[in-house]
Chains A and B, each alone.
Chain A
Amino acid sequence: MLKRKNKLKQEKFDITANVIVLFFAILSLFPLYWLVTSSFKNSAAVVKMPPDWFPKTFNFQNYIDVFSNQPALKWAMNSVIVSLVATVALIIVSSLAAYAFSKLQFKGKNVIFIIFISSLMVPKEVMIVPLYRIVDQLGMVNSLHGMIWPNVATAFGVFLLKGFFDSIPDSLRESAKMDGASEFRTFFKIMLPIVKPGIGALFILYFVQVWNDYVWQLVIGQEEGVKTLMVGTATLMQDLNPNFAYKMAGATVAAIPMLVIFLFFQRYFTRGISIGAEKG
């Protein structure tokens, strides 16, 4: 009798919890729904009150406008290249540095690490002008290089991955050494596979960050051919008579790769976030 009562109580709790979760899921997904459906409306219908919860007519003109007369595919390609190269390069550099900070012993290790981490406290906006000057002197303005390499020089990856390396017992490294493995092989064959969830998380977090790095890409990519999708679609907007539906179509196009990446790396993303939080 008591068991049945408990079971009923548990079921009630589950139902309530599921309803709450469902409610928040709908709440979270609603902006995405609104974005996609609005991209098929006309501008006036987007801001209509009371709103059309479902588009009365499906109008593909906004998408046609985004892709016609504009090198939108080139912009998308640029975004992919910039985000991918910067992220892969960051992972290579950060994993090596994080491993060194975590497992190697050298003079001034803690001081250097503190300097590394304190650089995270400086907002990027503060550095834009000096960074722009450096990039300009290197001849990288109006090139994808100028968007990529400054993004690799960040301590974010080192900070994230060091936590993962710290959680690996030192004995593992010592055993590998005793078996005659070189430092690089120990790093590459033993340590790196263990921190795979961290690398996955770093990949997705940083890919998203670079993809959305509007201001830097804006000031560096001034020419049509080197614009990224974020900057390019924003350029099409007129100050006057802003076409909201067109904006929604541009935002949808810019969001699709992010959604695809999230779906593929969802496992790493959630695992990485939770593990990263524990390490933090």
Chain B
Amino acid sequence: MERKKYEKSLRIKEDYTLKKLGLALFSIVLLLSLLTACGNDDKEADKGKTDGKDTVEISLWLTPQWKGVIDSSEEGADFDSFFKYAAEKFSEQYDKHDVKVNVEVIAGDQRDEMLNVNLNGGTPPDIFFESVFAMGDYAHRGALAPLNDIVDDEAKQDIEQSFWDTVTFGEDIYFYPFSHMPGTLVYNADMFKAAGLEKYVGSADAIQTWTLDEYETILKELKANTPEDKYSNAYPMGLYALNNQGDTWNLAYLRMFGSPFFDDEGNIVLADEKGTKAAAWLKDMYDEGLTNPGAESVSSNDVNAMFQNQQLGVSFTNSVLYNNIKADMASGNVPEFDARLANIPSESGDPLSFTYVTGASIFDTGDKTRMEVSKDFVKFFSSDPELVKASKNGVPVRKSVVEEFKGENPLFAAYEANSQYMFSFTGNVPGYNELRQVLYPELQALYTGEKSPEEAVKDYQKKGNNVIEKAKEDSVIYNK
């Protein structure tokens, strides 16, 4: 009897312990689940009507461009500050709807992953603010909506035609140009002077233009005369082909001897005498030790870092990189030296110039109201006299803004003067992003000696045109 009683009490105790443990585990999961829910409470509250107007919620994604509304020195300046401020200003004056803009910053290397999943899931963002070259394929895929209806004469006059050409695919404008980022060369003027090359050093506020012969002389002199005690492990020119990073400069080098690169039908036409000559020039420079060694396994980031560490005489840069180097020098993050700009030389003597146009595009979400509001918002922040001043963080596409700030930044005028030599490095061809994967393996084969210059350009043209041909079949612009 006693034993039974004892066993019963033991069982009750065990049951109690079991329940307690089970309950504890359940509570942990429940508590943590509740915590996860806390972050989402305010979402539903934003929907509905206020002031008798419908509330329209749109999303804007951007990759990091500049911090602050107008200037990074503002308190709390961040990558989304400009668009948050613009959204507030837009909502105040917009009378069709109450508008809420959700601004999200995504890293550049997250862009395609995020967009592809969201496009396939039927939830693309309404607006994307990014470099046009990275987004052109989405226009060809039919994911973007044309913006012709929000571009007025005032904008067409204030923004150079070359920028409109960059954002026009087929007959339609798909991006509203906001700012641009010209690509040039950058050189270490101190190293030039140390190597006795003073006469090739240009003004600090200008973009120096050298002929191709002068450029070759510079590289040879740098190799021969750069003092080893001051610049140990230094090379005349930076060259890279590890991946597709910074491939625009490689594309520019391949145009050095006059190759038009694309024909009128959007096919690559590099495998001719001019293209082969350019590839042979790169290989010669590499073989003569006028560039850093191991170009096939060096990335543009490595080259940029080498330049900052004064291990290169000439490197690649763009307006943002150049400003960042200057800022890093001023803050002591990078040892100070005299870095100046130069154009990419060509055989003809005319500089090779290109730029990355940045602007907003609108995804075709199928929701007419959201698309209308998105277009109005894009037009607003791309043309509002106060907001367009923020384009000075890059190089403004609007002549009016260049005029206003050229005293503050003399290089704006130099960049503007270069625009006459500008070429479209993408040719606005479909499949450009995939095309980028084809070039660097050919350059690697060129530098390692696996392929001759002739073979490298021929194979690039063949593979590249296959990519373009395939992309043309899927392009809504080519199949209109």
Contacts of A170 in B (CB 8 A): none
The contact of B105 among A84, A219, A235, A240, by CB within 8 Å, is: A235
B109 with A241: CB separation less than 8 A: no
Chain A CB within 8 A of B382 CB: no
A180–B10 alpha-carbon span in the complex (Å) = 12
The contact of A47 among B14, B37, B305, by CB within 8 Å, is: B305
A219 with B304: CB separation less than 8 A: no
Given contacts A81-B32, A128-B117, A141-B123, 6 further A-B contacts (CB under 8 A): A44-B308, A48-B305, A69-B76, A133-B122, A185-B18, A219-B117
Chain A CB within 8 A of B52 CB: no
Chain B CB within 8 A of A132 CB: yes
- Distance of B238 from chain A, by nearest CB (Å): 13
Chain A residues 240 to 258 lying within 8 A of chain B, measured CB to CB, are 240-242, 244
B118 with A219: CB separation less than 8 A: yes
Contacts of B32 in A (CB 8 A): 81, 84-85, 88
Q: How many residues of A contact B (CB 8 A)?
A: 52
A218 with B110: CB separation less than 8 A: yes
Chain A CB within 8 A of B195 CB: no
Chain B CB within 8 A of A55 CB: no
Contacts of A84 in B (CB 8 A): 32
B110 with A234: CB separation less than 8 A: yes
Closest residue on chain B to residue A78 by CB atoms: B39
Contacts of A235 in B (CB 8 A): 64, 105-107, 110
Chain A CB within 8 A of B58 CB: no
Q: A47-B305, A222-B104 given as contacts; is B117 within 8 A of A132 (CB)?
A: yes
**Subset of 10 A-B contacts with CB under 8 Å:** A44-B328, A81-B32, A81-B36, A143-B37, A184-B18, A215-B113, A218-B114, A222-B61, A223-B104, A237-B64
Contacts of A46 in B (CB 8 A): 305
Chain A CB within 8 A of B311 CB: yes
Contacts of B40 in A (CB 8 A): 142-145, 226
Interface 1/0 per residue, B18-35 and A, CB below 8 Å: 100110010011001101
B residues adjacent to A (C-beta < 8 A): 11, 14-15, 18, 21-22, 25, 28-29, 32-33, 35-37, 39-40, 43, 61, 63-64, 76-78, 102, 104-110, 113-114, 117-118, 120-123, 233, 301-302, 304-306, 308-309, 311, 318, 320-321, 324-325, 328, 333-335
A234–B108 alpha-carbon span in the complex (Å) = 9
Chain B CB within 8 A of A238 CB: yes
A88 with B25: CB separation less than 8 A: yes
Q: Which of A78, A215, A218, A239 has the most CB of B within 10 A?
A: A239
Contacts of A34 in B (CB 8 A): none
Contacts of B22 in A (CB 8 A): 188
Contacts of B117 in A (CB 8 A): 128-129, 132, 219
B107 with A237: CB separation less than 8 A: yes
Closest residue on chain B to residue A137 by CB atoms: B121
Q: A43-B333, A129-B120, A219-B118 given as contacts; is B102 within 8 A of A239 (CB)?
A: no
B114 with A219: CB separation less than 8 A: yes
- Distance of B295 from chain A, by nearest CB (Å): 15
Interface 1/0 per residue, A185-229 and B, CB below 8 Å: 100110000000000000000000000000100110011111000
- Distance of A218 from chain B, by nearest CB (Å): 6
B33 with A189: CB separation less than 8 A: no
Contacts of A43 in B (CB 8 A): 305, 308, 328, 333-334
B108 with A238: CB separation less than 8 A: yes
A11–B324 alpha-carbon span in the complex (Å) = 58
Closest residue on chain A to residue B232 by CB atoms: A50
The contact of A218 among B11, B78, B113, B301, by CB within 8 Å, is: B113
- Distance of B321 from chain A, by nearest CB (Å): 5
A144–B334 alpha-carbon span in the complex (Å) = 40
A132–B118 alpha-carbon span in the complex (Å) = 8
B304 with A85: CB separation less than 8 A: no
B39 with A143: CB separation less than 8 A: yes
B107 with A145: CB separation less than 8 A: no
The contact of B36 among A133, A143, A219, by CB within 8 Å, is: A143
Contacts of A49 in B (CB 8 A): 233, 306, 309, 311
- Distance of B208 from chain A, by nearest CB (Å): 22
Chain A residues 21 to 50 lying within 8 A of chain B, measured CB to CB, are 42-44, 46-50
- Distance of B300 from chain A, by nearest CB (Å): 10
Q: A42-B333, A82-B36, A144-B39 given as contacts; is B320 within 8 A of A241 (CB)?
A: yes
B78 with A44: CB separation less than 8 A: no
Please list the 9 inter-chain residue pairs (A to B) with the smallest Cβ-Cβ separation, ordered nearest first: A239-B108, A144-B36, A47-B305, A85-B32, A42-B333, A44-B308, A241-B324, A129-B120, A219-B117
A185–B325 alpha-carbon span in the complex (Å) = 67
Chain A residues 157 to 203 lying within 8 A of chain B, measured CB to CB, are 180, 184-185, 188-189
Q: A84-B32, A132-B120, A141-B123 given as contacts; is B309 within 8 A of A47 (CB)?
A: yes
- Distance of B248 from chain A, by nearest CB (Å): 12
Closest residue on chain A to residue B22 by CB atoms: A188
Q: A129-B121, A238-B64 given as contacts; is B36 within 8 A of A148 (CB)?
A: yes
Contacts of A88 in B (CB 8 A): 25, 28-29, 32
The contact of B304 among A185, A218, A241, by CB within 8 Å, is: A241
B321 with A240: CB separation less than 8 A: yes
The contact of B37 among A42, A82, A145, by CB within 8 Å, is: A145
Chain A residues 119 to 146 lying within 8 A of chain B, measured CB to CB, are 128-129, 132-133, 136, 141-145
A44 with B333: CB separation less than 8 A: yes
- Distance of B369 from chain A, by nearest CB (Å): 20
B320 with A240: CB separation less than 8 A: yes
Closest residue on chain A to residue B246 by CB atoms: A240
A46–B305 alpha-carbon span in the complex (Å) = 9
A69 with B78: CB separation less than 8 A: yes
Chain B CB within 8 A of A92 CB: yes
Contacts of A132 in B (CB 8 A): 117-118, 120-121
Closest residue on chain B to residue A227 by CB atoms: B104
A189 with B37: CB separation less than 8 A: no
Contacts of B114 in A (CB 8 A): 218-219, 222
- Distance of A84 from chain B, by nearest CB (Å): 6
- Distance of B85 from chain A, by nearest CB (Å): 15
Q: A44-B308, A234-B110 given as contacts; is B63 within 8 A of A85 (CB)?
A: no
Chain B CB within 8 A of A236 CB: yes
A144–B39 alpha-carbon span in the complex (Å) = 8
A85 with B36: CB separation less than 8 A: yes
A136 with B123: CB separation less than 8 A: yes
A219 with B18: CB separation less than 8 A: no
Chain A residues 63 to 98 lying within 8 A of chain B, measured CB to CB, are 69, 78, 81-82, 84-85, 88-89, 92
